[in-house]
Amino acid sequence: MIPRAARAADLACPHGCAGERFEALNAPLHVDRRRRYLDHDDSHATFVCAECGAVAVDLAQVAVAMRRDAEAEPLTLVCPHCGAEMLPPLDDELAPHVECPICETRFAVEEGMRWLHGGGGGGGDRE
């Protein structure tokens, strides 16, 4: 029987163990009253290497995350005073305060995040 939550995966041990056995933690396994396998759901499971016990890395999910990060829009800030859109300063993208090049208002980076202005994106998955 094919698992309910089957998805592409490519598990690897971060320590490079040669074995290709992994244990699923927190994955419900369903059996009938005679303990015969029915199905399982590994959608929320954590996998560990059966040899060393290290948490396995899902290389397929890493590739998906890398593509998503590469395609992500750059962080833009919105001046809370004049509404001008700008990129964070190149010399210090994590500076706590920035100055608007248009109206010269100084504001905290968090104040300029797009999600505070009702535009979504920009600062994360806020709703």
Domain boundaries, the chain: 11-71, 77-117
Q: How far apart are CA 110 and CA 114, in angstroms?
A: 9
Residue 62, both tokens: 């890493």
| Residues 73, 107: Cα–Cα separation, whole Å | 22
Which residue in this structure is represented by tokens 């608007």?
Answer: 100
* The pair of three-digit structure tokens given for residue 9, joined into one six-digit string: 């995966």
What pLDDT was estimated at residue 2?
44
Which residues in 1-123 belong to E strands, given as ranges? 11-12, 22-25, 29-31, 37-40, 46-49, 57-58, 77-78, 85-86, 97-99, 106-108
| Cα–Cα nearest to 100, from 88, 113, 91 | 88
What pLDDT score was predicted for residue 97? 86
pLDDT of residue 3: 46
Local confidence pLDDT in tens for the 127 residues of the chain = 444 445 678 899 999 998 889 999 988 989 999 999 999 888 888 999 999 999 999 898 888 888 877 776 667 889 989 989 988 777 776 678 888 989 999 988 778 876 555 544 444 443 3
